[in-house]
């Protein structure tokens, strides 16, 4: 680890988009663009902390109605019923298909909650400038990045069920308002993960301007 040299320390910068490594030149009043893909060169994403926090707060706010409001309405011969995500998980559990119940619970409830906790922890530790467990925290960020879109699972299930069940009196399914908030949670948490700059984990407070 002692041999590791950081690009910013030796005057090099890598393009965030295409990865081309370039030598930094003394800063003029102009921003510099990547020589290969023309993307704006930034050593760190500007205001990544604030942006991540903003998306994260938006996600937490949307998370509440997405779990409280019903996501789907199913009607059959015996009448109709609206169900929330948790109610759907419980009905699978009671019906004996525990594997599907665990899958939906993980994708819809546990994954967003994990993202809130993890990104919150990362933001907090970066803010405090600690050098604690940097490698592990970077791995944690990769986890958040990886699990990002799996929460869309329930949206897909609701949409497919609604597209299939249209038998008038015999059985219909319709999406309900909760799914709109739920979709919002997925998008905002993904945006939060992309706004975060993991290189901040490795910055010591003195490095920052």
**Helix intervals (H) in 69-133:** 85-94, 98-105, 111-128
Least gap, CB of 138 to other proteins (angstroms):
4
Phi, psi dihedrals of residue 72, rounded to the nearest 5°: -150, 150
Q: Which of 60, 186, 192, 195 is the binder for other proteins (CB under 8 A)? A: 186
- Within 8 A by CB and 6+ apart from 85, the residues are 66, 67, 71, 104, 108, 109, 154, 178, 182
Nearest to other proteins of 117, 133 (CB atom):
133
Least gap, CB of 180 to other proteins (angstroms):
5
Least gap, CB of 189 to other proteins (angstroms):
12
Instruction: Provide the 3-class DSSP secondary structure of residue 107.
Output: helix
Nearest to other proteins of 23, 128 (CB atom):
23
Within residues 157-176, the interface with other proteins by CB under 8 A covers 157, 159-167, 170-171, 175
Alpha-carbon distances of 127 from 21, 55, 113, 130, 143, rounded to whole Å? 28, 17, 21, 8, 20
The answer to whether residue 90 forms part of the interface with other proteins (CB under 8 A) is no
Within residues 116-135, the interface with other proteins by CB under 8 A covers 134-135
Tokens 């994403």 belong to which residue?
45
Tokens 């409280």 belong to which residue?
68
The answer to whether residue 138 forms part of the interface with other proteins (CB under 8 A) is yes
Nearest to other proteins of 86, 103 (CB atom):
103
The answer to whether residue 84 forms part of the interface with other proteins (CB under 8 A) is no
Q: How many binding residues for other proteins (CB under 8 A)?
A: 97
Nearest to other proteins of 79, 208 (CB atom):
208
Within residues 20-49, the interface with other proteins by CB under 8 A covers 20-27, 29-44, 46
Paired tokens of 46: 């500007």
**Number of neighbouring beta carbons within 10 Å of residue 96:** 9
Nearest to other proteins of 60, 148 (CB atom):
148
């Amino acid at each position: 680890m002692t041999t590791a040299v950081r690009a910013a320390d030796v005057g090099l910068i890598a393009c965030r988009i295409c990865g081309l490594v370039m030598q930094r030149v003394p800063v003029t009043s102009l921003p510099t663009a990547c020589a290969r893909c023309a993307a704006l060169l930034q050593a760190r994403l500007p205001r990544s902390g604030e942006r991540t926090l903003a998306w994260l707060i938006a996600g937490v706010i949307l998370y509440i109605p997405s779990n409280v409001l019903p996501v789907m309405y199913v009607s059959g011969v015996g009448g109709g019923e609206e169900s929330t995500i948790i109610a759907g998980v419980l009905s699978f559990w009671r019906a004996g298909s525990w594997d599907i119940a665990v899958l939906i619970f993980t994708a819809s409830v546990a994954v967003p909650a994990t993202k809130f906790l993890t990104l919150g922890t990362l933001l907090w530790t970066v803010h405090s400038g600690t050098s604690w467990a940097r490698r592990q925290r970077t791995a944690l960020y990769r986890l958040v990045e990886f699990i990002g879109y799996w929460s869309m699972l329930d949206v897909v299930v609701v949409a497919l069920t609604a597209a299939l069940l249209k038998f008038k009196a015999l059985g219909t399914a319709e999406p309900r308002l909760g799914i709109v908030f739920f979709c919002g949670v997925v998008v905002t948490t993904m945006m939060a993960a992309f706004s975060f700059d993991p290189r901040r984990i490795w910055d010591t407070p003195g490095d920052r301007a």
